[in-house]
Structure 1
């Protein structure tokens, strides 16, 4: 029983060692001369625009796109197991998946209504 966990523990230790070694190497080898240009935000080569004192406001489009991504990400996460075990689940699971997809489309229609799918 405990013998079967040895490869898993070895893989976990190997991953942890790799992460610690990568961070440690970057601290030792990385440049240590900081200047104003290195400390500024990098925006694809474009000069960053100054922020207002209060932090500024973001358009709701950013939040709608993020919400749309999360909704469809969660939908795909729940649909994969259903698709794999469709034959064994029966009518109850089919009804549950239909209700789930209806709920997802309510969120989709909300984003569409708020203009989250218009890219201008």
Structure 2
């Protein structure tokens, strides 16, 4: 019992730590068992079955991806300007405390984002081209 004397089982967070460790161990164990069982029970010759029609609908065929890259570019630009607003709000709340240093810092930040916006504009990221 001398080896466990340095552990404090009466610590208020010991139960939470034990539940976390137990949960991680059980999750890992179930994942390993599920992987082993599924590999033992799975049939390896099911490719024809996967391509057959299920109840109704057209026959499955592989088609090229027709999603435009402009959705991705618009999402990136949205995140860019959303992050700008997230950083500007605390700056505006603490404007009097930050003083001139905070003002110059925010001007440089907005200038950097404006350069990125102009670059995206010049590259045509804001123009929507039809896919044909």
Structure 2 counterpart of 1:64: 73
- The structure 2 residue matched to 1:51, chosen from 60, 63, 74, is 63
Cα RMSD for the two superposed structures: 2.7
1:11-90 equivalences in 2 (<5 Å) = 51-52=63-64, 56=65, 59-90=68-99
Structure 1 counterpart of 2:105: 96
Structure 1: which 4+ aligned runs deviate by more than 6 Å?
Answer: none
* Deviation at residue 87 of structure 1 after TM alignment: 1.1
Which one has more relative contact order, counting CA pairs under 8 Å at least 6 apart?
Answer: 1
Question: Does the Cα contact within 8 Å between 2:120 and 2:126 map onto a contact in 1?
Answer: yes
Aligned residues: 73
The 1:113–1:36 alpha-carbon spacing in structure 2 relative to 1, beyond 3 Å, is farther
Alpha-carbon separation, structure 1, partners of 2:110 and 2:66: 33
The two structures have a TM-score, normalised by structure 1, of 0.50
Larger Rg: 2
Structure 2 counterpart of 1:105: 114
Secondary structure of the structure 2 residue equivalent to 1:117? coil
5+ residue gaps, structure 2, are 1-53
5+ residue gaps, structure 1, are 1-33, 38-49
